[in-house]
Structure 1
Amino acid sequence: MPRKLDLRTGQPVWSAYRAPAVPTDGLTRDVKADVLVVGMGISGAMMAEALTADGHRVICIDRRGPLKGSTAATTALVAFEIDQPLSTLSKMIGRASAQQAWRRSRLAVSNLAGRIAELGINCGLSRAPSLYLSGTILGPSELRDEAKARRLAGIAATYLTPAPLAETFGIDREGAILSHGNIALDPRKLTAGLLLKSLQRKARFYAPVEATVIEDSAEAVVVATRDGPTITARHVVLATGYELVEIVPAAAHRIISTWAIATCPQPRKLWPDAAFIWEASEPYLYMRTTIDGRVICGGEDEDFVDEARRDELIADKSTRIAEKLGLVFPHLDTRPDFAWTGSFGTTTTGLPYIGAIPRHPRIHAVMGYGGNGVTFSQIASEIVPASINGLEDTDARLFAFNR
């Protein structure tokens, strides 16, 4: 039923930091729940926590197990900046919708930080200013326009000319947008924390369990599994990352491969304020630091999904990413301590698909997260539970399948 993918290869840096274990059971008999969540990565975990907080009886399944999919491949720089710049997105979907999508994305990062604090999840959350550097897609004058477009949408943005950029951050570039409000964290620790919170509220976790057939009626959804038992629920949420289930329309959804490295810890060599940095370039480059002073740098994205070819490129891509990092910060030790690759789904506009699948009102899906996986997972965990509770989220139409 799912189009299976090997979601990541290599050794993500997160393996250097221990995440809490999440216990699961084997599925040995037919079971029932209010909501079945398929997928136990970051999206599924956020969904389970939100739904159990609302009092729903929740079952989660995963064909691998908790935290085993692409969650560990993310670099977890949780930014509100959508893959498409606001000035570009405005031309694609209209200014009002583009502004609202950006505002909602910004709100989601703020909501997530509050949620982590409220639940007391220790996931190494850190805050830093963000720099969006001029590059091959947006040069200095376009970047100025982008900063203005953000301010008109009510999102603070400061355009930096070369002198203050060099003085404050030690970066030699023609221009950059300085913004605030983004966070970085450890994605495995966050996912485990959310799942454990759901478990305290009596969620049931079964893994490894693979869903094979999904059949929905006016009253319920019945999901058959590879080993025999069925799961019956009032609603099903498909949080399967980039492995789309057949029932989900794959329209306007492409799969991209990406690569990343992490250096050795070098806290004394980091740039001022350990700002989050990415370039307005194609292929793009982004960098953040970890709590113990490593630099995570990634990008070099390519539009293909052949896992063997993707994995063979780890060595070449790591070298290239390390070289690019060295051009921005010549004093850093850019040799990779960790190197890995992963695949993710993306859409033309950079906006994800979140909501009920057309003609299947009880089956909800989340997909096409692009570079904003954690941010969009937060938005999905606000929109889908509202819909299951019979309420309408003000921004649901922006992300709907039939938008």
Structure 2
Amino acid sequence: MQRKLDLRGGQPVWKSYRAPSVPAQKLTQDAKTDVLIAGMGISGAMIADALAAQGHDVLMIDRRGPLLGSTSATTALVQYEIDTPLSHLIGKIGKQNAERAWRRSRLAVANLQSHIEQADLRCRMTSRPSLYLAGNVLGAGALQEEAVTRRAAGLGAHYLAPADLRESFGIIRRGAILSGNNLALDPRMLTSGLLLRSMQKKARLYSPVEAMKIEHSADGVSVSTKNGPIIRAKHLVLATGYELMDGVPAKGHSVISTWAIATRAQPRNIWPQEALIWEASDPYLYARATYDGRIICGGEDEPFTDEETRDALIEKKSARIAQKLGKLFPDIDPTPEFKWAGAFGTTESGLPKIGQIPRKPRIFAVMGYGGNGITFSRIASELIASTLDGKTDIDADLFALTA
């Protein structure tokens, strides 16, 4: 059984932009496949695209339908910088592993950009630098040390003193790290493109289909659905986002609520280079511009309690986010035209949990994304594709699930 959550509330800005529709069939009889993927959001779409391209017979199910989960709630700052600063991650998992995780995240963003370009996936992707502003987690001195730590790991990081930050970006803060080669894109357009590309390679999509019972054996997986049909697969990938299926280890995984706004289009007021903005704070503010000059800004994160409480806070949280945005950029009109709430999973280290479920090697789970959901979805697609191709991904141990 799946732990059902209403993954978003309010009105996400992405609903105002058109994305190609993705057709899904009704499941009326039993089915067989090489790989069954549960979830038709950004994670499932990336995995389906990768596996179908390898020649696997792919079947996807979703209890709602394509793009109807948390994908529309993301603000889509596609960064390689992990929520946990490199200097802090070293203290959690060791220097070598922390540097590997950050490098793999950077590689994932580069690979995603390359794939989008080569496959001509039209999702309004643009390359953007990012600004990591001093805050209550890393002050000016700690931020300088973080920049040194990143450079020593082979990761580009340029520290901006307050005067340089103000002159270059018009931001008044105690300092910032400037990094390059991150992405801004439309998450619904990307997900639609990936799903349609998978279908061109014979992937089959069925919805609404709800998995009720999973049976695992040495040679396959059997999934009973709510309406009766049974799906038998050699492998099962659970890409259900933050609605974990029973049997998936939840140790160290928690769900967080977040809120976001989008302003009117005001392209003349956007800050230089349209840099992705985020803070070295807990909770942190984050902001980006859309292709037509809206500002998306989010934050005010807190532990998830229930959907009603989260959604009841949309007005209050939106007002607070708008106030912070206006303070950061006085020339911007921070008045929200769109306001919404969402949920995301996180782990103690800030790294995702991706891989085979202990003692059930034919079932993969993809969970715990933090603020790097799209980046980590790319890593998940690479890890799972390697495993099903009979290869060992050199970084699989960093993200492995534990009982």
Residue 315 of structure 2: aligned partner: 315
- For each residue in 1:47-88, what CA deviation from the matched residue of structure 2 results, as whole angstroms up to 9, or x when unmatched? 000000000000000000000000000000100011100000
Residue 59 of structure 2: aligned partner: 59
Residue 157 of structure 1: aligned partner: 157
Displacement of 1:304 after TM fit? 2.0
Residue 180 of structure 1: aligned partner: 180
Displacement of 1:131 after TM fit? 0.5
- Matching of residue 205 in structure 1 with residue 214 in structure 2: no
Q: Where in structure 2 are the equivalents of 1:17-28 lying within 5 Å?
A: 17-28=17-28
Moved more, 121-130 or 237-246: 121-130
Displacement of 1:133 after TM fit? 0.4
What letter matches 2:15 in structure 1? S
Residue 223 of structure 1: aligned partner: 223
2:316, 2:379 → 1: CA distance? 35
Contact 1:76–1:185, Cα closer than 8 Å, also in 2 = yes
Residue 348 of structure 1: aligned partner: 348
Q: Where in structure 2 are the equivalents of 1:11-160 lying within 5 Å?
A: 11-160=11-160
1:275, 1:228 → 2: CA distance? 50
Residue 267 of structure 2: aligned partner: 267
SS for the counterpart of 2:335 is: coil
2:208, 2:380 → 1: CA distance? 24
TM-score under structure 2 normalisation? 0.99
SS for the counterpart of 1:305 is: coil
2:195, 2:377 → 1: CA distance? 14
What letter matches 1:375 in structure 2? T
TM-score under structure 1 normalisation? 0.99
What letter matches 1:115 in structure 2? H
- For each residue in 1:353-372, what CA deviation from the matched residue of structure 2 results, as whole angstroms up to 9, or x when unmatched? 00000000000000000111
Residue 242 of structure 1: aligned partner: 242
Contact 2:249–2:402, Cα closer than 8 Å, also in 1 = no
Q: How many residues are paired up?
A: 403
Question: Which blocks of at least 5 consecutive residues in structure 1 are unaligned?
Answer: none
- For each residue in 1:319-371, what CA deviation from the matched residue of structure 2 results, as whole angstroms up to 9, or x when unmatched? 00000001110111000010000111110000000000000000000000011
Residue 189 of structure 1: aligned partner: 189
2:129, 2:31 → 1: CA distance? 47
Residue 385 of structure 2: aligned partner: 385
Displacement of 1:402 after TM fit? 2.8
Residue 375 of structure 1: aligned partner: 375
- Matching of residue 400 in structure 1 with residue 400 in structure 2: yes
Displacement of 1:147 after TM fit? 0.3
1:49, 1:273 → 2: CA distance? 32
- For each residue in 1:271-308, what CA deviation from the matched residue of structure 2 results, as whole angstroms up to 9, or x when unmatched? 11111111111210010000000000001000123110
Contact 1:127–1:182, Cα closer than 8 Å, also in 2 = yes
2:249, 2:284 → 1: CA distance? 28
Contact 2:131–2:179, Cα closer than 8 Å, also in 1 = yes
2:27, 2:127 → 1: CA distance? 41
SS for the counterpart of 1:172 is: coil
Contact 1:143–1:175, Cα closer than 8 Å, also in 2 = yes
2:327, 2:348 → 1: CA distance? 30
SS for the counterpart of 1:292 is: coil
What letter matches 2:66 in structure 1? P
Displacement of 1:16 after TM fit? 1.1
- For each residue in 1:155-205, what CA deviation from the matched residue of structure 2 results, as whole angstroms up to 9, or x when unmatched? 010000011111111111110000001001000000000000000011100
Moved beyond 4 Å, runs of 4+: none
What letter matches 1:87 in structure 2? S
Contact 1:70–1:241, Cα closer than 8 Å, also in 2 = yes
